[in-house]
A and B are shown apart, each in its own frame.
Chain A
Amino acid sequence: MRSRLLRNLLWSLAVLAVLAGLSFGLPALDNAVASARPVPAGVRYDIGAGVSLVPPVGAQLDVAHTVPGEDEGTALFLLGGVRYSVRALPFTGGLDEVTAQLRESITRTRGYQVTGAEMPVRTDAGVAGRQGGYTSPGRQGRYCAFLAAGTAVEVTFAGGDLELHDSLQALETSVQSITFGRS
């Protein structure tokens, strides 16, 4: 009986070890590998769905949160402590709806709040969009939405006050560099 219990205990520990390996070992291994990769300065980056932009100088790509694709794509750039996220996706509605959807996705997170009025914005290629500001605990941010040829682009960037202030110009330039359509 004792040997049976001991065998059962050893097998139980083996089961627990494998589950712990999957639940905690793999995430620990993942955390041990850096996810930020430098992006070449001045070179266009394809987000997906035919959308591309020029990332700010010095930005790094967070490959763990970047998902390229034919029909839609997401990219997350890191500029110091500032997170700059761009998402391209097919969209059948109008610009107001894209903007509302983005605003809703921001405010759905507890502690995130949209601030002030929305303003028109335009890319260098002439695509019209709308932008506004938001706050989250300890961070300030901006969101922008664009729509062209059935493809919507949702942009957010946020960081601590000082960091965001220092990077704002470079981020605005990058947003204005957004182009639609495959070349």
Chain B
Amino acid sequence: MNLPTEDRAPGPDSVPAVPEAGLVIPTPAWARARRSLRLPAFWLLIALLLVGGWQIGALLRQVAAGYPAATGLAIGLFGLYAVLFVVFVRSLDYFEREPPLLLLTALGWGALTATATAVRGDAAVHDLLAKLVSPAFAASWGPAVAGPTVEELAKTLGVVVIVLIARAQVNSVVDGFVYGAFVGLGFQVVEDVVYALNAVALAGDGDSLRPVVGTFLLRGFLGGLWSHTLFSALAGSGIAYAALHHDRSAWRRWGAALGALAGAWLFHFGWNSPLLADGFGYGGPGVLAALLIKGIPALLLVTLLIRQASRREAGYYLDKLVGDERIATVRELAALGSGRTRTAARRYAQTRCGRPGRRAVRRLQRAQALLALELSRGGRRAGRYRAVALAQRELLEARGHPDAYAPDSSSTADWSWLVGCLCAAALAVALALAIRALGGS
């Protein structure tokens, strides 16, 4: 099909590179969830979830009894916040999406088992610091020492248990990141609900909703982006690396797992430490700046790591599609490599062919990803996805948009980072002002 000159795609010299393939071990076609029932780790998981659920349920019932409205609002707000995070983390896992039951398990481990462990362990470490050093030291540094030591270990065990019960579902470092993030998210939601209800109790104003909103803004947003979700995601990546890289020495695998856990510990320690807590003496804006200084290194490091791992995972799956231009052109393969370029391709299709074009590109991309995944597993259902991809291809060709990619989408990266940072900073300032208006500090 010939296109008018101005509609032609740029020449081969501007073809972007397909991401390099990294180590990915696809889920074998024979993998079945019910096989997990035979494993001791599965029954251990069930027992620990039940015990944790009972303990956390009792804790929440006790706190909630005096403040039913505040409890309802806290659960609603942090639950909504969790949904947004789930959507975001799932978007990282485009090619080989994790089974919802396993994601729910990771969430449950963080919300129930890890929090129940932390309630006892944190208090013990805090008291030990008071006894062995001094009450003043425990008051200042207790959260920085107890929090990461107990909580990071308890949360990381959740990813270990996922590996034990569903080893075949942990296919790449990205999967470890996703499971870790879900464990951290579960932990963070329960912890934040308890914090919010404690704030209500301390305010001494009955079943008041203001402390809940203040806690939601402070802990959910200003402290949410780089706290438990991020720390656990980092530690989870290390566990996945150790579980997958059997071609590497045990030292290297264990070193990576322990290094990632140490990184999570260090970032958590820095986040909880009293350093810069006074906000350089500049009140609210200073505290906000201190939060950013403490949190941004962790956010940047983990973002870079996961970006690299995601590209390598994408490279592995995209390799399966190379060579059949009717299924995926070279430019489409490059566009499939990241969420940003996938979105850019859809937007570009919308500018050229309207909403139907955008929809067709989205379906084509999904069919391409599923076909790549199916081919990596042996390809029993490959024909079905191939047919969907070809159907969308014909639809796009009929609309004069045969190549589902966006020219120059890679050069927009710098601007999107800058715009993203500016939006985040503006949001942070707005939230800090909102918290101040609500009576927070």
> Chain B, 124-137, contact with A by CB distance < 8 Å: what is the 0/1 string?
11111011101110
Separation of A11 and B153 alpha carbons in the complex (Å): 15
> Do B164 and A11 have beta carbons less than 8 Å apart?
yes
For residue A110, give the distance in angstroms from its CB to the closest CB of chain B.
10
Most buried by A among B39, B125, B127, B164: B127
Separation of A108 and B139 alpha carbons in the complex (Å): 26
Residue B154 interfacial (CB < 8 Å) = yes
At the interface, is chain B mostly helix, strand, loop or mixed? helix
Of A13-21, A111-119, A134-142, A167-175, the one contacting chain B is A13-21
Residue B409 interfacial (CB < 8 Å) = no
Of B114-122, B294-302, B369-377, B418-426, the one contacting chain A is B114-122
Which residues of A lie under 8 Å from residue B38 when comparing CB positions? 5
Residue A125 interfacial (CB < 8 Å) = no
Separation of A22 and B41 alpha carbons in the complex (Å): 19
> Do A30 and B40 have beta carbons less than 8 Å apart?
no
Which residues of A lie under 8 Å from residue B135 when comparing CB positions? 61, 63, 66-68
> Do A33 and B121 have beta carbons less than 8 Å apart?
no
We find that the number of chain A residues with CB closer than 8 angstroms to chain B is 30
**Cross-chain contact of A30 among B44, B66, B124, B136 (Cβ < 8 A):** B124
**Given A22-B121, A68-B139: A16 and B44 within 8 A (CB)?**
yes
**Cross-chain contact of A22 among B48, B153, B161 (Cβ < 8 A):** B153
Residue A81 interfacial (CB < 8 Å) = no
> Do A12 and B150 have beta carbons less than 8 Å apart?
no
Please provide the chain B residues from 130 to 164 with a CB less than 8 Å away from any CB of chain A in the complex. Answer: 130-132, 134-136, 138-139, 150, 153-154, 157, 160-161, 164
**Given A19-B113, A34-B131: A26 and B121 within 8 A (CB)?**
yes
Residue B123 interfacial (CB < 8 Å) = yes
Which residues of B lie under 8 Å from residue A27 when comparing CB positions? 120-121, 123-124
Separation of A12 and B160 alpha carbons in the complex (Å): 9
Residue A64 interfacial (CB < 8 Å) = yes
Residue A29 interfacial (CB < 8 Å) = yes
> Do A35 and B127 have beta carbons less than 8 Å apart?
yes
Please provide the chain A residues from 91 to 143 with a CB less than 8 Å away from any CB of chain B in the complex. Answer: 97, 101, 104, 108
Separation of A18 and B128 alpha carbons in the complex (Å): 19
Separation of A36 and B207 alpha carbons in the complex (Å): 37
Please provide the chain B residues from 188 to 207 with a CB less than 8 Å away from any CB of chain A in the complex. Answer: 204
Which residues of A lie under 8 Å from residue B139 when comparing CB positions? 67-69
User: Which chain A residue lies CB-closest to B150?
Assistant: A22
> Do B123 and A12 have beta carbons less than 8 Å apart?
no
**Cross-chain contact of B130 among A9, A16, A66 (Cβ < 8 A):** A66
Which residues of A lie under 8 Å from residue B124 when comparing CB positions? 26-27, 29-30
At the interface, is chain A mostly helix, strand, loop or mixed? helix
Separation of A23 and B153 alpha carbons in the complex (Å): 12
Separation of A64 and B122 alpha carbons in the complex (Å): 12
For residue A106, give the distance in angstroms from its CB to the closest CB of chain B.
13
> Do B40 and A23 have beta carbons less than 8 Å apart?
no
> Do B41 and A19 have beta carbons less than 8 Å apart?
no
Most buried by A among B131, B138, B153, B154: B131
For residue B146, give the distance in angstroms from its CB to the closest CB of chain A.
9
Separation of A11 and B66 alpha carbons in the complex (Å): 42
Most buried by A among B117, B124, B134, B153: B124
Separation of A174 and B130 alpha carbons in the complex (Å): 24
For residue A1, give the distance in angstroms from its CB to the closest CB of chain B.
9
> Do A29 and B120 have beta carbons less than 8 Å apart?
no
> Do A8 and B204 have beta carbons less than 8 Å apart?
no
> Do A12 and B41 have beta carbons less than 8 Å apart?
yes
Which residues of B lie under 8 Å from residue A61 when comparing CB positions? 135
> Do B157 and A19 have beta carbons less than 8 Å apart?
yes
**Given A12-B44, A69-B139: A5 and B128 within 8 A (CB)?**
no
**Given A19-B157, A68-B135: A8 and B127 within 8 A (CB)?**
no
**Cross-chain contact of A64 among B131, B136, B153, B160 (Cβ < 8 A):** B131
**Given A33-B131, A64-B127: A9 and B40 within 8 A (CB)?**
yes
For residue B205, give the distance in angstroms from its CB to the closest CB of chain A.
10
Contacts A15-B157, A24-B120 known; 4 new A-B pairs at CB < 8 A: A8-B40, A12-B44, A19-B113, A26-B128
List 6 interface pairs A-B (beta carbons < 8 Å), by A numbering. A8-B39, A12-B40, A16-B48, A19-B48, A27-B124, A104-B204
